[in-house]
Amino acid sequence: MTRPYYIAGNWKMHKTRSEAAELAKTLTARLKDGKHKYLVAPSFTSLETVGAIVKGSNILLGAQNMAAEEQGAHTGEVSVLQLKDLGVQVVILGHSERRHTYKEDDELINKKVHLALNHGLDVILCIGELLSEREAGQAEKVCETQTRKGLEGVSASGLERVTLAYEPVWAIGTGKTATPEDADTIHAYVRGVIARLYDASAAEKMIIQYGGSVKAENAAQLMAKENIDGALVGGASLKADTFVPIAMFG
């Protein structure tokens, strides 16, 4: 089967509302004839602004994170109910910055995955190893553990609303990129994990994005690999001139 390519832009902690609006307007115009699946994930403060612009377009509205609880006394957190109220369709969970800077563990991430799915949101679940883990020969083991624990208890029907994003932590924002061959090896391994957890059909359908210094110069080479089904783009998603060539590859 041919899996659809899924290109997502994670704007991280960038852009005021007016800056986000300007970028969103440019992207809706320039990607309207694109043949792939697209998403942008602005900061919480810009979700309503960007959501109004991309509504009705071929660009999905994503959030970069959410709380593990539906609501309550959780100062500084943003709930799934608030995200849905803003028209958010997809939430990114388990990003390496959440795991390593903000110390979110697999159990917490799994709780968020279930909460998002239970409320009808799609999920991009991020996995990936540190440089020290790769050098110790543990890349596959780390990615398998994060995949297994992140998806624990998720039904086969729930899995259909999950996208995996492999992001080697050492390649995020560093300018280093895993070679297409290195990336494809991990993607193939993780696809095998899905086959063992669910079945071969689920593994075949699973969209696995690559993230980590994706840019126009390497996008087509990465996407040409059998097991790479798109990209979760950080820095290059902050300007239309660098994101559009990635989104429109092929």
Indicate the pTM of the whole model.
0.97
pLDDT band, residue 218 (cuts 50/70/90): very high
Residue ranges per structural domain of the chain: 6-247
124, 83 Cβ separation under 8 angstroms: no
- Verify whether residue 167 is a known catalytic residue: yes
Give yes or no for residue 138 having a pLDDT over 90. yes
- Verify whether residue 14 is a known catalytic residue: no
Q: Write down the catalytic residue from 95, 104, 129, 144.
A: 95
**CA pair distance 236, 173, nearest whole angstrom:** 10
Tell me the pLDDT tens digit for each residue of 176-199: 778 999 999 999 999 999 999 999
Q: Write down the catalytic residue from 129, 144, 167, 187.
A: 167
Tell me the pLDDT tens digit for each residue of 38-72: 999 999 999 999 999 999 999 999 999 999 999 99
What topology does CATH give the domain 6-247?
TIM Barrel (3.20.20)
